[in-house]
């Protein structure tokens, strides 16, 4: 038989639970396991609310770091992309084949034109054909907006390959009425390309 002290103890425990966990008051005959689960859920929700600002701040910091990297680090060129583009250009035996693998822009006088419709995921290439039938294709990446930025890989109609690292600001530009003049113009590019020799 329960005594008054025993009843008072049970009542006091229920009141204490109600003060600590208001949601428990709404439940009827909740087992200790149910109350424990609700407490765990409430703690997890509070923890997530505390962590959310830190998660947002970390995401913003990461975006800022990547932006700074694109401004300064990517302009140094990439040996990985240089090897990939060298292999792709060596497989092309004409400018028509180059256009199938690259987003190409051409030169006419002092301006550039886009002879092919750009496709997502393709690297860019500056192409030029000459009156004597020779041609050149220069794969490149903008230092401000692409991984591998600052990389230039050239391939001419004789199969000769040259690789340059420098800061490429937007579209690559070079001109010349002959292949030799074009190479001279490219080597005199305003950001001073440095020729790199890869195995």
Q: Are residues 96 and 55 in the same domain?
A: no
Domain encompassing residue 147: 75-196
Q: Are residues 51 and 81 in the same domain?
A: no
**At 8, is the pLDDT very low, low, confident or very high (cuts 50, 70, 90)?**
very low
Domain boundary among 72, 107, 129: 72
Q: Are residues 90 and 58 in the same domain?
A: no
**Whether the predicted model's global pTM rises above the 0.75 cut:** no
HEC readout, the chain: CCCHHHHHHHHHHHHHHHHHCHHHHHCCCCCHHHHHHHHHHHHHHHHHHHHHHHHHHHHHHHHHHHHHHHHHCHHHCCHHHHHHHHHHHHCCCCHHHHHHHCEEEEEECCEEECCCCCCCCCCEEEEEECCCCCEEEEEECCCCCCCCCCEEEEEECCCCEEEEECCCCCCCCCCCCCHHHHHHHHHCCCCCCEEECCC
Which tens digit of pLDDT belongs to each residue from 94-149? 999 999 999 999 876 555 666 667 788 889 999 999 999 999 999 999 888 777 88
What was the pLDDT predicted at 15? 42
Q: Are residues 50 and 80 in the same domain?
A: no
């Amino acid at each position: 038989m329960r005594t008054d002290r025993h009843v008072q103890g049970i009542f006091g425990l229920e009141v204490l639970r109600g003060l600590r966990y208001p949601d428990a008051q709404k439940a009827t005959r909740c087992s200790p396991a149910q109350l424990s689960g609700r407490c765990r859920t409430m703690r997890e929700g509070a923890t997530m609310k505390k962590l959310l600002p830190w998660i947002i701040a970390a995401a913003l910091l990461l975006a800022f770091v990547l932006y700074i990297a694109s401004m300064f680090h990517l302009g140094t060129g990439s040996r990985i992309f240089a090897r990939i583009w060298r292999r792709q250009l060596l497989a092309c035996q004409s400018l028509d084949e180059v256009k199938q693998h690259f987003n190409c822009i051409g030169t006419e006088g002092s301006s550039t034109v886009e002879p092919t419709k750009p496709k997502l995921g393709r690297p860019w290439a500056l192409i030029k054909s000459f009156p004597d039938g020779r041609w050149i294709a220069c794969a490149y990446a903008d230092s401000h907006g692409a991984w591998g930025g600052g990389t230039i890989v050239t391939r001419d109609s004789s199969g000769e390959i040259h690789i340059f690292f420098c800061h490429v600001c937007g579209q690559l530009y070079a001109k010349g009425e002959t292949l030799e003049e074009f190479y001279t113009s490219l080597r005199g590019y305003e950001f001073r390309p440095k020729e790199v020799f890869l195995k």
